[in-house]
Chain A
């Protein structure tokens, strides 16, 4: 091919990397499920959300996730309060 479509570069990169995607862990996938749950709870559609809406649901997810991990493991975590950055 004289001129390779930019969109096909991923084929070469994936061949070098041993695949196009990284296999997520079950726990890691659960984080995205929580993010979607929280988006639904607040009636926010993440993909078309404003920057402020995204920041809001991302913060709620971060803190909720950390609290859940704390409960699950029994190990106290140093959780930065929401909207404090």
Chain B
């Protein structure tokens, strides 16, 4: 069995297998291209050596997303700090107004679960929803459980573990041919 993450090409619903590897300096610098990404991936916050950055690429090597992960809580969980898709997959940035790939968020969360397992965190991941609408979907579609964050009125914090992590992860687990 292998973890085989994929995204869906919008135009024909084709499954495109992606590679998720540590982000290179070149990948991070590419976020300042034209059109630029929405986040400064070379900021002090994300440049912290404790923050592990990964790049999602399609088979031709094109960068389609970046994710930032941090092992936290004395290795009890992995914090998914940030995740952004490339401008070509962002209809608010592309000229066509249509995204090229779907499934980027789910695949990068699944990668976070694997990263958590690889680092002795038993597949537990924690993340803060950017908006209440996203929070609603994390809870409903992925069955993530809201946990207290200590900040009233701030972003809603979620944990994904156990059978809910398995349910999300299992769709990317395929038998070797």
Question: Hey, which bits of chain A sit against chain B, CB under 8 A?
Answer: 1, 4-24, 28-29, 31-33, 35-37, 40, 46-48, 58, 61-62, 65
Instruction: Fill in one digit per residue for B91-104: 1 if any A CB lies within 8 Å of its CB, else 0.
Output: 11100000101111
B166 to chain A, nearest CB (A): 12
Inter-chain CA distance A62–B92, complex, in Å, is 39
Q: Are B148 and A47 closer than 8 Å at their CB atoms?
A: no
Cβ of B31 within 8 Å of any chain A Cβ, yes or no, is no
- CB–CB B141/A7 < 8 A: yes
How far, in Å, is B150 (CB) from chain A's closest CB? 3
Other-chain residue from B39, B103, B128 in contact with A8 (beta carbon distance below 8 A): B103
| B104 contact from A11, A32, A62, Cβ within 8 A | A11
Pull 21 A–B residue pairs with CB atoms less than 8 Å apart, ordered by A: A8-B103, A8-B105, A8-B106, A12-B91, A14-B83, A14-B105, A15-B89, A17-B130, A18-B38, A20-B127, A21-B80, A21-B83, A21-B130, A22-B155, A23-B81, A28-B154, A29-B72, A29-B79, A31-B151, A32-B157, A33-B72
Given A1-B13, A32-B126, A35-B147, CB of A13 within 8 Å of CB of B134? yes
Question: What is the interface residue range for chain B against chain A?
Answer: 35 or more
Q: Say yes or no for B159: interface residue by CB 8 A criterion.
A: yes
Q: Which residues of B contact A6 (CB under 8 A)?
A: 137, 141
Please measure, in the bound complex, the distance between the C-alpha atom of A22 and the C-alpha atom of B159, giving whole angstroms.
Answer: 14
B91 is contacted by which of A15, A36, A48 (Cβ under 8 Å)?
Answer: A15
| Interface residue from A32, A47, A65 paired with B72 (Cβ < 8 Å) | A32
Asked whether, in the complex, the Cβ of B141 is within 8 Å of the Cβ of A15, the reply is no
Which chain B residue shows the least CB distance to A66? B150
Besides A6-B141, A28-B150, A61-B148, 9 other CB < 8 A contacts? A1-B10, A5-B8, A11-B104, A13-B131, A13-B137, A14-B130, A15-B93, A21-B129, A32-B147
Assess whether B159 is in contact with A47, with CB atoms less than 8 Å apart: yes
**Known contacts A22-B128, A32-B72; is A10 also within 8 Å of B81 by CB?**
no
CB pair A1–B8 under 8 Å, yes or no, is: yes
Q: What are the interface flags for B107-119 relative to A under an 8 Å C-beta threshold, 1 for contact and 0 otherwise?
A: 0100000000000
B73: which of A13, A21, A23, A36 is its contact (CB, 8 Å)?
A36
Residues of chain A within 8 A (CB-CB) of B82 are 19-21, 23
Contact, CB under 8 Å: A4 / B102: yes
Q: Which residues of B contact A8 (CB under 8 A)?
A: 8, 102-103, 105-106
Are B102 and A11 in contact, CB atoms less than 8 angstroms apart?
yes
Any chain A CB within 8 A of the CB of B149?
yes
